A and B are shown apart, each in its own frame.
Chain A
Amino acid sequence: MELESAATKTLTSRERTYVWKRFKKQWPLHVFVGLGMVFLLIFSYTPMFGIIMAFKDYSIVTGIKGIFTSDWVGLRYFEEFVNDYRFVELVRNTLVLSFLKVIFAFPAPILFAILLNEVKNMAFKRFVQTVSYLPHFISWVVVVGIAFSFLSTDIGILNKLLVTIGLIDQPLDILTGANYFWGLAVSSAIWKEMGWWTIIFLASIAGINPALYEAAQIDGAGRLSRIRHITLPGIKGTIVVVLILTIGSILGGGLVGSNFEQAYLLGNDINNSTSEIVQTYAFKVGLADGRFSYAAAIDLIQSVISVILIFSSNTIAKRVSGSSLF
């Protein structure tokens, strides 16, 4: 509101009364906006002061006050992380896992929505849709428990089945093998979140004017070409917005999220070389060891990469499709 009044200073009195009148008319909406801004201010902006910890020699025994009183050390912790013997591996794991999720997890709900849209039996369609989005409500801890009973070398149903029908001699170490981790993480994330994101694309498809399909049918367009020329262009805007959101949160796992949960819960000493990501590393060496400054520096590096990614994806989206977030 202060900002608003500052902006009105340069206005003439007639314009001012006009603005005031409009504001009076819209006040309930402004209350909503204001509340949202207060929320952001308290929970998103205020804690950001803590970031200065990354540049300070902070010791936890000095308490919250210590964040402000401890000595500045410049980029010491950033250097320490960049020179860490695992730095390259950690960044690689983070990026590979994130990009794999964009490549495989992003198109999955779009394809699934289109498939569902082609199903003519409403009862079946609804059933499939409900079943597919239910896993969204299960926490990762439970999902990992389920994964264990399906995939472990010892009691896993899948391994038992494959061995019994003779496809493999030795059970596959899906849960512990370093080579399996990325595939496991991406596929379990798709299994868990695909159905949920399908809802939005289905809604988008529902908004397409049915007359277009009828016209195309009369013109002799088959199913595939109707999908290609009507459905896909019809939901293009939605796809772009979701894509930008995905890339904005790419290092957290994008659309399907949960990089941290997966790396933390599915990671173990054996698959560590592929499962340890920047966030879990910050969690382990930073929090458990009480080195909050170092943890803050590590996460800040990741945030910088994220910001770069979201701006570039937004620019690319604007150029390619004409729609963008900002």
Chain B
Amino acid sequence: MNKSSFGKGFILPLTIMSVMALSACSGANGDSNANSDSGNAAASSENTAAGNTNTSTDTAATSSGDAEELTLFINHSWYPVKDFTGPIADRITEKTGVKLKVTVATDDKQLPLMIASGDLPDLIFSASDIDRLSNANISYSWNELIEKYAPDFQIDATRIAINTMKDGNFYTIRNAFATEEEWKANQYALGNDGNPGIAVREDIMNELGNPPMKTLDDFVNILNMVKEKHPEMVPLIMDKNWIEQYFMGQFGIDTGIGNWYESEGQVNYWLKHPKAQEFFLFMNSLYRYGYILAENFAHANDQIDDEYAVGGKAFAHSHTVSVADRDNISAKKNGAAYTFKMIPSALSEEKVQVSTGIGWSGTFITKKNKNPEKSIKLMQYLASDEGKKLTMFGIEGEHWTWNEEGYPNLKYSTADSDFVNGNGIKWWFLYSDAIVEGLWGYVPGTQTTQALIETKEKTVYKPEIGLIQVQADSAEKTIKTKIDEMVTNEKVKIYLAKSEDEAAKLFENMLKTADKIGLAKLDDWANKTYAEKKALFK
């Protein structure tokens, strides 16, 4: 009896276990179902969206022939527009006969998987994996397509040079680039929103008696005053992607994180900059004196800092040059009584801004493309003066008029992201340049414009440094990825160190680890590449 009860006691749980295992499977299935459901929902909303464009383009199609639907993968998971709809998109379809079916990346792992599996869309818009996509097995080269289908598509020599790969072909032209000459020739073209800036609460500045803000020390003093007067407030909140840039610039570090800087003809990885340690200790002091939150370094998304600032829980907000204008719009919508203003772009004599930009994101026409001819012609249209202005400013007359001075008079605020994104303004810049984007940023009288003018005055252009790019699957790439990854992990420890000594020690250790991983080898390679690329600009 004993034995049989043991048997029963054993078989029943086993059965349950197998049922549970099965249900776990079905649970997983359930999950994936849920996923595919949402996928379907997304797809069906896309369908309806596509349906809408259908109806609107049907009328257009009568004038421009049948619209070809091409799939576009946007490799920027944060991309604010997800559907090819709205007046700009419709106009592009009307002019080019191309409709886009858009997929926005869910994360940075998706594109490598797509490349590996060969499951590619017609077009890819990406700022990373440029060298992988620039491969004759994956994409058509533009030079080949231009020769074949669009011989009148003119691209200037500099752009071609900086986008040409080792095999002598160019597979894309990155947008958001302008040569130094172009910058100088267009005084109203300012930098884009990719420049750092800090906004502070105007009312609290008044309350503090508007203390001077000329140096970095002044700024720190003000943070301290805020901390004393308003202990419930966070003195400085930072966007997770814009933590260091502003301060690095003030210390005269003429490069970005993970990049190279040039000094006396030699390039070095940014960690080796003579001011790097000073900068790290400064960041650490911000934390030790309680001006920034530790949690700031663990923000899961880039909305949390906005909530702090707009919600009145923070005094200063570090983000880009447009941060004050954007915060003001959001604060106003929330019914808040306070406003933000930018602090000066330069708080020190040493402030530098180096533009190593060689462009940002480019469009690739993949080998799976249904219609390479229409694809390259789409690029040609977007590259035309008309196309660039349409994508960046909007519909002429409706959204903007041309000011004889040489810039557009916009009928909307560029900081009003709801309007901009809702109409699909700017975001279809699959081919564009920094000048037209810079003109879009020129709105006389706004704080963003003021900050950008200040920034442009301090900017030095060194695109040849931007061309030092490690190639996929190379030894340098492995070293660089490891060092970058290591720095990402270690830098926060330095910022959050309990004492200055500890911070200094951690900084030393970080340099040592970088050396161990192979920093010297990486810098050697960078110098060699730098010498090669410099020749391109002569």
Interface residues on A, range: 35 or more
Per-residue B-contact encoding for A195-215, CB less than 8 Å = 1, 0 else: 010011101111111011000
Query: Is B516 an interface residue, CB under 8 A from the partner?
Result: yes
The answer to whether A60 touches B2 (Cβ under 8 A) is no
Instruction: For the complex formed, measure the closest distance between the CB of B6 and the CB atoms of chain A, giving whole angstroms.
Output: 7
| Assembly CA distance A139 to B297 (angstroms) | 25
Chain B residues near A276 (CB-CB < 8 A): 489
**Closest residue of chain B to A137, judged by CB?**
B27
Q: Mark A213-256, 1 if CB is under 8 A from B, else 0.
A: 00000000000000000000011011001100000000000000
Alpha-carbon distance A201/B14, docked complex (angstroms): 10
Q: How many angstroms between the C-alpha atoms of A63 and B119 in the bound complex? A: 9
Interface contact B297-A269, CB-CB below 8 Å: yes
A62, A153, A284: the one within 8 Å of B485 (CB)? A284
Contact A204 B13 (CB under 8 A): yes
- Least CB distance, A165 to chain B, in whole angstroms: 19
A292 on interface, CB distance cutoff 8 Å = yes
B28–chain A nearest beta-carbon distance, Å: 11
What 1/0 mask marks residues of chain A from 124 to 143 whose CB sits below 8 Å from any chain B CB? 00000000000001010000
- Which B residues from 14 to 59 make CB contacts under 8 A with A? 14, 16-17, 20, 27, 31
**Which parts of B288-312 form the interface with A (CB within 8 Å)?**
293-295, 297-298, 300
Structural contact, A208 and B5, CB atoms closer than 8 A: yes
- A200 and B112 contact, Cβ closer than 8 Å, known pairs A63-B117, A207-B8, A290-B132: no
Is A188 interfacial (CB-CB < 8 Å)?
no
In the bound complex, what is the Cα–Cα distance between A181 and B9 (angstroms)?
A: 38
Q: Closest CB of chain B to A209's CB: distance in Å?
A: 4
Within the complex, the shortest CB–CB distance from B33 to chain A, in Å, comes to: 13
Q: Decide yes or no whether A49 CB sits under 8 A from chain B.
A: no
Q: Which of B13, B108, B129, B135 has the most CB of A within 10 A?
A: B13
Partner of B12, one of A173, A206, A209, A268: A206
Cα(A200)–Cα(B113), bound, Å: 39
A61-B137, A200-B20 known; A207 and B13 CB under 8 Å? Answer: yes
Name the residue of chain A whose CB is nearest to the CB of B496. Answer: A270
B179 at the interface (CB under 8 A from A): no
Which chain B residues border A208 with CB–CB below 8 Å? 5, 9
Q: Which residues of A contact B80 (CB under 8 A)?
A: none
Knowing A61-B132, A241-B14 are in contact, say whether A204-B9 is a contact too (CB < 8 A).
yes
* Bound complex: CA A153 to CA B485 (Å): 27
Residues of B within 8 A of A283 (CB): 109
| Distance from A280 Cβ to chain B, minimum over Cβ atoms (Å) | 12
B115 on the A face (CB < 8 A): yes
Nearest-neighbor residue (CB-CB) of A201 within chain B: B13
Tell yes or no: A4 within 8 A of B by CB: no
The answer to whether A175 and B298 have CB atoms under 8 Å apart is yes
Q: How far is the CA of A270 from the CA of B298 in the complex (A)?
A: 6
Min CB–CB distance A73 → chain B (angstroms): 12
B145 interface residue (CB < 8 Å to A): no
Specify which chain B residues have a CB less than 8 angstroms from the CB of A176 in the assembled complex. 294-295, 297-298
Structural contact, A203 and B298, CB atoms closer than 8 A: no
Determine if A315 is an interface residue (Cβ-Cβ < 8 Å): no
How close is B479's CB to chain A, nearest CB, in angstroms?
11
Chain B residue numbers with a CB within 8 Å of A175 are: 295, 298
Across the interface, do A64 and B298 meet the contact criterion of CB distance under 8 Å? no
Q: Does A59 contact B (CB under 8 A)?
A: yes
For chain B, the count of residues having a C-beta within 8 Å of the partner chain is 52
CB distance from A203 to the nearest CB of B (A): 5
**Given the interface contacts A153-B295, A273-B489, A288-B109, does A64 sit within 8 Å of B13 by beta carbon?**
no
Flag whether A169 is at the interface (Cβ < 8 A): no
How far is A214 from B18 in the complex, measured between Cα atoms in Å?
Answer: 31
Distance of A13 Cα from B216 Cα, bound (Å): 96
**A44 nearest CB across to chain B (Å):** 13
Determine whether A302 belongs to the interface, using a CB cutoff of 8 Å to chain B.
Answer: no
Residue in chain A with minimal CB distance to B298: A268
Cα(A54)–Cα(B27), bound, Å: 31
Hey, which chain B residues are within 8 Å of A61, CB to CB? 115, 132, 135, 137-138, 472
A324 at the interface (CB under 8 A from B): no
**Docked complex Cα distance between A270 and B295 (Å):** 8
Min Cβ gap A195→B in Å is 12
A276 to B492, CA, bound (A): 15
Chain A residues, Cβ within 8 Å of B137 = 61-63
Contact status A63-B294, CB under 8 Å: no
With a CB–CB cut-off of 8 A, which chain B residues contact A139?
31
Instruction: Confirm or deny: A117 has a beta carbon within 8 angstroms of a beta carbon on chain B.
Output: no
Cα(A20)–Cα(B308), bound, Å: 75
- Whether B472 lies near A290 (C-beta < 8 A) is yes
Question: A201 to B20, alpha carbons, bound, how many Å?
Answer: 13
- Interchain CB contact under 8 A, A60 and B115: yes
> Which of B17, B117, B482, B496 lies at the interface centre, i.e. has the most chain A CB atoms within 10 A of its CB?
B17
A285 at interface by CB-CB < 8 Å: yes
How many Å lie between the Cα of A273 and that of B112 in the bound state? 27
Q: Which 3 A-B pairs have the closest CB atoms?
A: A207-B9, A268-B298, A290-B112
- 25 residue pairs A–B, Cβ–Cβ below 8 Å: A60-B115, A61-B138, A63-B115, A64-B116, A64-B117, A154-B295, A175-B295, A176-B295, A176-B297, A201-B13, A207-B13, A234-B5, A238-B13, A268-B300, A269-B297, A269-B488, A269-B489, A270-B294, A273-B493, A285-B481, A285-B482, A285-B485, A290-B116, A291-B473, A291-B478
Known: A139-B31, A290-B115. 20 other contacts (CB 8 A): A59-B472, A63-B137, A85-B517, A173-B294, A175-B295, A176-B297, A196-B20, A204-B10, A204-B13, A206-B12, A207-B5, A207-B8, A207-B9, A207-B12, A234-B5, A241-B17, A270-B297, A272-B492, A289-B481, A290-B472
